[in-house]
Structure 1
Amino acid sequence: MTSAAPEPPFSTPPPWPQCGHGATADDPVGCRGIHVPGHSACLAHLDEDDRAAYLAGLAPGADIDHRGTPFTPDLLARLLAALRDPAIGKPRTGDVQFDEATFSGNARFVGVVFSGNASFSEAVFSGNAWFNNAALSGNASFDRTVFSDIASFGEAVFSDSATFGEAVFSGEAWFNEAVFSGNAWFSGVVFSSDARLAAVFSGKAWFSGAVFSGNAWINKATFSGDAAFDGTTFSRDVGFSGATFSGDARFGAARFEMASRLGPLACGGRVVLDGAVFQQPVTVEIAAHQVSCARTRWASAATLQLRYAELDLRDAVFEYPVVVAARPTPFPLSAPGDLLPETELPGLDPGVRLSTVGGVDAAHLALHDIDLSGCRFAGAVHLDQLRVDGWCTFATTPAGWSRRFPWRWSRRTTLAEEHHWRVRTARHPALARGWTPPPEDAPALRPTAVAALYRQLRKSLEDGKNEPGAAHFYFGECEMRRRDTDGTPWSERALLTAYWALSGYGLRASRALGWLGVAMTVTLAVMVLWGLPAKDPRPTVTGRQVAVGQDVAWTTDTPDPVNPTGPWSERVTGERVEKALRVVINSVVFRSSGQDLTTAGTYTEMASRLAEPVLLGLAVLAVRSRVKR
């Protein structure tokens, strides 16, 4: 009789007719192996003659049920030899049940063809478990199975669903080039050593709650359906290099304790890192439609290099500097010239768009080459310390002309929050044309709140020596203050309105120069028509000689300028225009022309000497804001 493998004691008997061999007072249940049909013992404890007769009666494709049976390597080999199909040269089974079976030594199921369902739930493999090249056509269940040493499923084919829920892999787990055509459940699995999962998952793959105590090598794995790693713990390094996901890849609340790199991976759907924790410096490389990092905690420095993605950083926690950058070229893999395939992302713009940083402390956040046109900054703190480098773009004002005032918006960089405010407060649909409407979850902000966002981001750009960009945000800040009817006094709003109308808050040189041209033209016209006297007054000398040899007293007097009274054709002459032009030019540089003027001309010159230098100064200020370095 073949010696049986030791089996752990159970306090309750199984639901099938059990062998009971070896029952004692301490172990009243004994062997849990199911009876061999027609006998009262399991296969391991059956008499040798009866065992031989049973095995001889098996045929390829037969259904077998050996739940709870203890197997030695020899007994397993004899069972599989009895099921060997001469046509294919491999063992072939129908439905098999090895639930709670124990396998001492090495268990070799290499190349076995499981034509029906295969159940190994709660089985215990004390040695190595070899399932290489096995073909499992039906449902395969390894729930709560214990693999004490190496578990190898290399190139195994799972044609239907495969479940490894809460299984324990104490040794290395190899799934290289395995194929999962149906759904694959690895929820709650514990990988105590290195795990190699470079497999093909055609259905959904669940690794939720799994624990990888060793290295997790999932390089070049293919997930055709959704893949869930929610709550998974990666205690050591993790490799997803070259992994591709056709559906969503979920890493919600996952823990990366020692991972130095995540990716590069490609995803045709969403990569969800909500609530994930990265405890060591890490580089994340992802090409995906969407990447969500809501409530993600970065406990060390990190670099996110992305392609194609719309990124959500809502409520993320940055304890150390984190750089988010758009990668312009495909990610390289380990082999020279080998690039990450992006077949799931055909024909898309590889740029990266940031959707929100609400709830983020931006003091440790740096953005490089990111599209910020739709980004919502409301709710973030320390935006004045945000680093914006490279080719980062913001939203702009609408282009083109309108039939309603203002007929044309001044072209400038704006925040998404101003777009949302404009749409919400537009009194006519025409005023909202060209502005981006707010999403449903966007909060309704007052102008003073939008002005605060502009002020903080302006400081950030100024610290980054981006003075022209900061000037756009100064315009936006002033615009919101001018529109704020709750917190800004009317006198301040009136002053801001004048400042906006004359020079675009000191940022529109063309507007200031236009008003300067208008002022100079008006001054010139007034001078020509009313400011210059009809004739230049000539000094008159008067006096009287009292006696010869006495002092003579003479008086010189200049008569008052005479207002012109003739027709306009007589007033508008080349000479008068030339004199008026001198007055205007001197007024621009705050100088007196010294020209004799009428009373109207004198007051006009005084007004122009005040207004025109101010307009010139505003124009110079606007030019300076554009070229300041």
Structure 2
Amino acid sequence: MHEPWRTCGRTLCAGVRVRGDRCLAHLDPSRQDQYFEGLRPGAEVDLRGTELSGDLVKRLVESIRTEDGRAEFGRADFTDARFRDPVRFEKVTFARTSFKDARFGGEAAFSETLFHDEASFRATRFARSALFADVTFGSATFESAEFAGGARFSRAKFAGGGFQFTQFNGLVAFDESVFVDDTNFREVDFGGDASFAQVEFEGKVQFSLVSGFRGEALFREARFGGEASFAELEFHGKVSFEGAGFSGAARFQSARFHESVTFERGRFGGFAVFKGARFHAPVSFESADFVAAELLGPAEGIMMTFAHATFRKRMVIDVVAAEVYCGEANFEAGVDLRTMKANVDLTRAAFGKPSTIAGRGLSSLRSIREVDAVDLVLTDLDLSSCTFAGAHHLDKLRLEGECRFLVRRRRQVLAEDPRFGPGTGSQVGPQRMADLYRQLRKAQEDSKNEPGAADFYYGEMEMRRHSPATPWSERVILHLYWLVSGYGLRALRALATLAVLIAVVSVSIWLGGFKTTPAFGDTLIYVAQSTVSLETKLSSLPKDLTPFGEVMRLVMRVLGPLLLGLTLLAVRNRVKR
């Protein structure tokens, strides 16, 4: 095979000649000593194709070390070199260097190394771990390089552009590193965990990976100065952007997340693009700060958490998820929350401007406890398990579309009602429940839902009737009101009571209401006419009533119209819209 350099005279050795016809590895000891003695700081080194032991590398570095402890290379060429032992290029300065096609059989340490000019690690193979801690790169490429044992670039600084990485089979860590210019991780394969904790990307960054992140992807407290794109990536392991800051747009459109994801305490200074993203495990935006974002979604997930998150601008959240938790979230300019098949929890959420919570496909609202509902609109939501205790201005709550409450005994009730099981209702007393029913009745009336308002009126009266705080005299009246007409909401009960009253009064008047005893049928007609204040025209009835008869007639004149009125009121409450 033709070699681009004059190779060593030893058979099968591809090392470049440095003395006579021998490479550095095959020089006799005395001539090796002469080679190293001839080197000075800043010397150019050509060791292409040479097989270098750990001892030779150590002597090479020490021979060009300055008084301040740093070793300085001029142009250094290690193309196709073979490093069979662990090697250390620590505290070394390279003017321009190439490790193209080099092979590192042991650990390779480049800690605190400075690459002034172009550094090429194209197609380099690292069989063991590669350490680039505290390294500064002017311009570097790792195109087609393979890190079989993991790589650490902790606190590295990538000052120039054009960085290219290819394949990481083990753990790769860029913790606390700085990328000064725009960065593109194009067609990189992260076979293991990837850590970018506290990394600072001063320009744009784009990840367009071959197989996505196959291990964990950790971006804790990373800082993205420009646009950050993770579009269409697949994350197979856990993902963490906890405390990360996005100054520009954060693009996750059509990304796939198979394990849990966290953006807790993250700051989105630009757009947050999650259109088409799918979360196959819980995702958390707890305590995140959305400064400029106005849209999140449409996205799909299992459980999405926005607890304690702050939204500075009016937000549209469009998600398909089983659980959506917005406890103590702060929507400063309001929100349009659109959910499908989701259980939504708004406990202690704050809405600075008018907001809408809209459901599709059996979405349910589980709680609006301690929420100020003055500008809140609920649309097409299942409220059968929703808890309202502690909410403010429920009378201003707007209910639109098909909002369904829990149904018991053919009436809408609240899930907290203590009449229907211990559950959450056991923590809310009758007096507080009466207030909840009263406010929601007003909300139903404003929504022109008279039957719903009637149901809540019934619940309110029931709570007042059972409340120990209600005076006993008022409770007696409420019991009678419930007994005879179901608080003016049971038409059949009022009619039955009226029928019983007519029968009892008819018998009483027939037996002792007239001075002579008429036919019972005539007496029944007379009492029925008295119910509606009509004068009888029956000639067969006696004209004079006894004092007892006058009292009975007066009772019918008062109670008859009252019961008729309650019957009509009950019918009206059921049919009015």
Q: Which residue of 1 aligns with 2:208?
A: 176
Alpha-carbon distance in 1 for matches of 2:144, 2:274: 28
Alpha-carbon distance in 2 for matches of 1:95, 1:621: 84
1:472 and 2:420 matched: no
**Alpha-carbon offset, residue 578 of structure 1:** 4.2
1:19–1:42 contact (8 Å) kept in structure 2: no
Alpha-carbon distance in 1 for matches of 2:103, 2:258: 37
Alpha-carbon distance in 1 for matches of 2:508, 2:290: 78
Q: Which residue of 2 aligns with 1:592?
A: 535
Alpha-carbon distance in 2 for matches of 1:3, 1:325: 71
Q: Which residue type is aligned with residue 463 of structure 2?
A: M
Q: Which residue type is aligned with residue 242 of structure 1?
A: G
Alpha-carbon distance in 1 for matches of 2:520, 2:309: 77
Any idea what SS the aligned residue of 1:80 has?
coil
2:86–2:106 contact (8 Å) kept in structure 1: no
2:122–2:141 contact (8 Å) kept in structure 1: no
1:21–1:45 contact (8 Å) kept in structure 2: no
**Alpha-carbon offset, residue 264 of structure 1:** 1.4
Structure 2 residue corresponding to 1:509, chosen from 484, 491, 494:
491
Alpha-carbon distance in 2 for matches of 1:380, 1:313: 11
1:67–1:97 contact (8 Å) kept in structure 2: yes
Alpha-carbon distance in 1 for matches of 2:366, 2:44: 66
TM-score between the two structures when normalised by the length of structure 1: 0.74
Alpha-carbon distance in 1 for matches of 2:490, 2:328: 42
1:259 and 2:293 matched: yes
**Alpha-carbon offset, residue 472 of structure 1:** 1.1
Q: Which residue of 1 aligns with 2:3?
A: none
Q: Which residue of 2 aligns with 1:71?
A: 115
**Alpha-carbon offset, residue 625 of structure 1:** 1.8
Structure 1 residue corresponding to 2:122, chosen from 69, 76, 80:
80
Change in CA separation of 1:96 and 1:385 when aligned onto 2, cut-off 3 Å: same
2:89–2:109 contact (8 Å) kept in structure 1: no
Structure 2 residue corresponding to 1:614, chosen from 554, 562, 565:
562
Q: Which residue of 1 aligns with 2:365?
A: 354
Q: Which residue type is aligned with residue 129 of structure 2?
A: D
**Alpha-carbon offset, residue 389 of structure 1:** 1.2
* 1:193-252 CA distance string (max 9 Å, x none): 000012211111110000000100011111111101000000011101111111110111
Structure 2 residue corresponding to 1:318, chosen from 346, 351, 354:
351
**Alpha-carbon offset, residue 47 of structure 1:** 11
**Alpha-carbon offset, residue 22 of structure 1:** 8.9
Equivalent residues in 2 for 1:18-97, closer than 5 Å: 45=93, 58-59=102-103, 63-71=107-115, 74-76=118-120, 79-81=121-123, 83=124, 93-97=127-131
Q: Which residue of 1 aligns with 2:308?
A: 275
1:284 and 2:317 matched: yes
* 1:275-317 CA distance string (max 9 Å, x none): 1000011100111111111111111031000112111111111
**Alpha-carbon offset, residue 488 of structure 1:** 1.1
Q: Which residue type is aligned with residue 390 of structure 2?
A: G
**Alpha-carbon offset, residue 115 of structure 1:** 1.6
Any idea what SS the aligned residue of 2:365 has?
strand
Q: Which residue of 2 aligns with 1:167?
A: 199
**Alpha-carbon offset, residue 627 of structure 1:** 2.6
Q: Which residue of 2 aligns with 1:87?
A: none
Q: Which residue of 2 aligns with 1:216?
A: 250
Change in CA separation of 1:39 and 1:316 when aligned onto 2, cut-off 3 Å: closer
TM-score between the two structures when normalised by the length of structure 2: 0.80
1:32–1:68 contact (8 Å) kept in structure 2: no
Alpha-carbon distance in 1 for matches of 2:428, 2:275: 43
1:582 and 2:522 matched: no
* 1:45-101 CA distance string (max 9 Å, x none): 5799xx88x978x4376643222222356432xx435x3xxxxxxx56542221122
Change in CA separation of 1:598 and 1:364 when aligned onto 2, cut-off 3 Å: closer
| Aligned alpha-carbon RMSD (Å) | 3.2
Any idea what SS the aligned residue of 2:155 has?
coil
Alpha-carbon distance in 2 for matches of 1:141, 1:469: 60
Q: Which residue of 1 aligns with 2:12?
A: none
**Alpha-carbon offset, residue 144 of structure 1:** 0.6
Alpha-carbon distance in 1 for matches of 2:43, 2:255: 42
Q: Which residue of 1 aligns with 2:153?
A: 120
Q: Which residue type is aligned with residue 200 of structure 1?
A: E
Alpha-carbon distance in 2 for matches of 1:2, 1:510: 108
* 1:537-562 CA distance string (max 9 Å, x none): xxxxxxxxxxxxxxxxxxxxxxxx43
Change in CA separation of 1:143 and 1:484 when aligned onto 2, cut-off 3 Å: same
**Alpha-carbon offset, residue 23 of structure 1:** 6.9
Q: For structure 1, list consecutive stretches of 5 or more residues without a partner in the other structure.
A: 5-15, 84-90, 328-349, 400-410, 423-434, 534-560, 565-575
Any idea what SS the aligned residue of 1:472 has?
helix
Q: Which residue of 2 aligns with 1:450?
A: 433
Q: Which moved more, 1:591-600 or 1:257-266?
A: 591-600
Change in CA separation of 1:301 and 1:23 when aligned onto 2, cut-off 3 Å: farther
Change in CA separation of 1:243 and 1:2 when aligned onto 2, cut-off 3 Å: farther
Any idea what SS the aligned residue of 2:558 has?
helix
Change in CA separation of 1:311 and 1:31 when aligned onto 2, cut-off 3 Å: farther
Q: Which residue of 2 aligns with 1:139?
A: 171
1:360–1:381 contact (8 Å) kept in structure 2: yes
Any idea what SS the aligned residue of 1:149 has?
coil
More strand per residue: 1 or 2?
Answer: 2
Structure 1 residue corresponding to 2:406, chosen from 378, 395, 402:
395
Q: Which residue type is aligned with residue 516 of structure 2?
A: V
* 1:16-65 CA distance string (max 9 Å, x none): 999798979xxx565699xx9899966965799xx88x978x43766432
Alpha-carbon distance in 2 for matches of 1:263, 1:40: 49
1:437 and 2:419 matched: no
**Alpha-carbon offset, residue 483 of structure 1:** 0.5
1:210–1:231 contact (8 Å) kept in structure 2: yes
2:293–2:313 contact (8 Å) kept in structure 1: yes
Structure 2 residue corresponding to 1:605, chosen from 550, 553, 557:
553
Any idea what SS the aligned residue of 2:320 has?
strand
Q: Which residue type is aligned with residue 394 of structure 1?
A: F
Any idea what SS the aligned residue of 2:395 has?
helix
Q: Which residue of 1 aligns with 2:223?
A: 190
* 1:399-456 CA distance string (max 9 Å, x none): 5xxxxxxxxxxx21111221xx23xxxxxxxxxxxx24324xx772221111111111
Change in CA separation of 1:42 and 1:274 when aligned onto 2, cut-off 3 Å: closer
Q: Which residue of 1 aligns with 2:55?
A: none
Any idea what SS the aligned residue of 1:370 has?
coil
Structure 1 residue corresponding to 2:374, chosen from 363, 377, 381:
363
Alpha-carbon distance in 1 for matches of 2:500, 2:298: 61
2:90–2:109 contact (8 Å) kept in structure 1: no
Q: Which residue type is aligned with residue 148 of structure 1?
A: V
Number of aligned positions between the proteins:
507
Structure 2 residue corresponding to 1:489, chosen from 471, 475, 485:
471
1:532–1:580 contact (8 Å) kept in structure 2: no
1:416 and 2:415 matched: yes
* 1:303-356 CA distance string (max 9 Å, x none): 0001121111111111111110013xxxxxxxxxxxxxxxxxxxxxx3222121
Q: Which residue of 2 aligns with 1:562?
A: 516
Change in CA separation of 1:389 and 1:194 when aligned onto 2, cut-off 3 Å: same
Q: Which residue type is aligned with residue 582 of structure 1?
A: I
Alpha-carbon distance in 2 for matches of 1:47, 1:462: 81
Change in CA separation of 1:511 and 1:121 when aligned onto 2, cut-off 3 Å: same
Q: Which residue of 2 aligns with 1:568?
A: none
**Alpha-carbon offset, residue 117 of structure 1:** 0.7
**Alpha-carbon offset, residue 521 of structure 1:** 3.1
2:93–2:115 contact (8 Å) kept in structure 1: no
